[in-house]
Structure 1
Amino acid sequence: MGILFEDGNFALFRDSFLQTVELSALSALLALLIGTLLAAFRVSPVPALRAFGTVWVNVFRNTPLTLLFFAVVFGLPRLDVHYSSFVFAVLALGIYTASFVCEVLRAGINTVPLGQAEAARSLGMGFGQTLTLIVLPQAARTVLGPMSSVFIALPRNSAIAGAFSISELYGAQQTLNERGYSILTIFFWVALAYLFLSAVIGLIFRFLENRLAVAR
């Protein structure tokens, strides 16, 4: 169990853990922004926007994440788009997760009574105002549970980035394995790190649920 305290392994594991946290946090932020916009498109009165949102969700939700990483990391440079591997990983994870965020939000929007939107329109509010000021705040209370599952899965999905030159937890596992350490011991510490991240994300969403329940 002392693998982390030998030959600078702790620094490797610590830096990889922090890289996973940073990658997951930035990807979650990007997914939330894109997913909210896509959810607005899915319920928009404009057919073209609804079609765009539907195609986006169906394409990226049904595309294997590994294939999406290949498309972003190797495809975008061919289109003269050049960023670091870390930025490409954030884009791939954010785009992929956004499709799931969109569907969770859309389900929450559908739980809001139609009378709420009709009342807002009767007061002269447009679609954007109705959605952002009336519908989404109410929908947020109903989607925190399923949304937590989406974001809890995000750090585990980020393990794919280790195969694309990103020094995250999976990359640390590969490095330690090459140094000859027991694979079971390595997996124990990596799994413990992912479990810790999942627990923290779960606690954050539990806190938000309690706050919104009190406000209700």
Structure 2
Amino acid sequence: MDIFVDSAGPFLGALATTIVMAITAGIGSLVVGTLIAAARISPIPVLRGAAFVYVQFFVNVPLLALLILAVFALPDAGIIMPLAPTTVVVLALYEAAYVAEAIRSGVNTVSNGQIEASRALGFTLGQTLRLVVLPQSFRAAVQPIGNVMIALTMNTALAAAVGVVELTAAANKLNLVQAQPILIFTAAGVIYMLLALVIGLSAGRIERKVAIVR
């Protein structure tokens, strides 16, 4: 335990970086994912097509490849950002594709009768989505979105590959000094497990509170 006591400061700082990255990227993925989901169910073919291409691209390209591309290719294009914000943006855009699919699955729980009723009341497409479809879709997709947030938190570990000092990178640095891989990486794994458990339990609690009684 002396290993962690002596390195508590850097280790906790790296854990804070992981949590901040997960929260920030999670919020970004929810915003972008909602817009993509709305575009995918839009009656406008161009929007549907663009959203479909977006989802297929990010679902089928490895996250690590995207991170490396963003970190090393964007500066050559004149776009220079710090490592952590770059990683957060890539994570948000990547996970937004999965959030969009989760929300779109929730759309299937909204009956056609409600959509027709909103049209009969004179709602525009935007009002129908904002007031009728998306709120119910979110309520039905709480657990799937929670699963996406867990995956996002785990995926922050890939930031170590591009130089961001988060939990995995800190554990690796500590291991290089202390040469105790089993102890150090088990501790890091337990921390990731606890983060996932918090997210999963929170999603379950929210799901029970907003459940649609039919």
Q: Same fold (TM over 0.5)?
A: yes
Question: What residue number does 2:93 align with?
Answer: 95
Q: Determine the C-alpha separation between the residues in 2 that align with 1:180 and 1:215.
A: 55
2:128 equivalent to 1:130 = yes
Name the counterpart of 2:201: 203
After alignment, is 15-24 or 163-172 more displaced?
163-172
**Which amino acid is 1:3 matched to?**
I
Aligned to 2:173: 175
Question: Which TM-score applies when normalising by structure 1?
Answer: 0.95
C-alpha distance in 2, partners of 1:153/1:20? 13
Task: Look up the match of 1:147.
Answer: 145
Q: List gaps (5 residues or longer) in structure 2.
A: none
**TM-score between both structures, scaled by the size of structure 2:** 0.96
Please provide the CA RMSD for this pair. Answer: 1.4
Measure the CA separation in 2 of the matches of 1:78 and 1:99.
26
Aligned equivalent of 2:110: 112
Q: What is aligned with 2:24?
A: 26
Distance across 2 between alignment mates of 1:171 and 1:87: 16
Q: CA deviation at 1:148?
A: 1.1
Equivalent residues of 1:35, 1:102 under 8 A apart: yes
Mapped to 1, the partners of 2:74 and 2:123 lie a distance apart of 40
The whole-number CA distance in structure 1 between the counterparts of 2:144 and 2:73 is 32
Greater shift in the superposed pair: 70-79 or 193-202: 70-79
Which consecutive unaligned segments of at least 5 residues does structure 1 have? none
Q: Is the 8 A contact 1:73 1:85 kept in 2?
A: yes
In structure 2, what is the Cα distance between the partners aligned to 1:116 and 1:80? 49
Matching residue within 10, 35, 41 for 1:12:
10
Deviation at 1:180, TM superposition (A): 2.7
Distance of 1:72 and 1:110 partners within structure 2 = 35
Q: Write the distance in 2 (CA, Å) between the matches of 1:111 and 1:205.
A: 19
Cα distance between partner residues in 2 of 1:206 and 1:3: 36
In the alignment, is residue 188 of structure 1 matched against residue 200 of structure 2?
A: no
Deviation at 1:4, TM superposition (A): 0.5
CA distance in 2, matches of 1:144, 1:68: 27
SS across alignment from 1:111: coil
Contact 2:140–2:212 (8 Å) recurs in 1: no
- Alpha-carbon distance between aligned partners in 1 of 2:213 and 2:179, rounded to the nearest angstrom: 51
Percent identity over the alignment? 37
How many angstroms apart in 2 are the aligned matches of 1:117 and 1:135? 8
**Separation in 1, partners of 2:200, 2:9:** 27
Please tell me whether the aligned partners of residues 159 and 166 of structure 2 are also in contact (alpha carbons under 8 angstroms). yes
Q: 1:98-128 CA distances to partner (integer Å, 9 max, x unpaired)?
A: 0000101111112211111111111111111
Q: What code does the residue aligned with 1:141 have?
A: R
**Are the equivalent residues in 2 in contact too, given 1:3–1:181 (CA < 8 A)?**
no
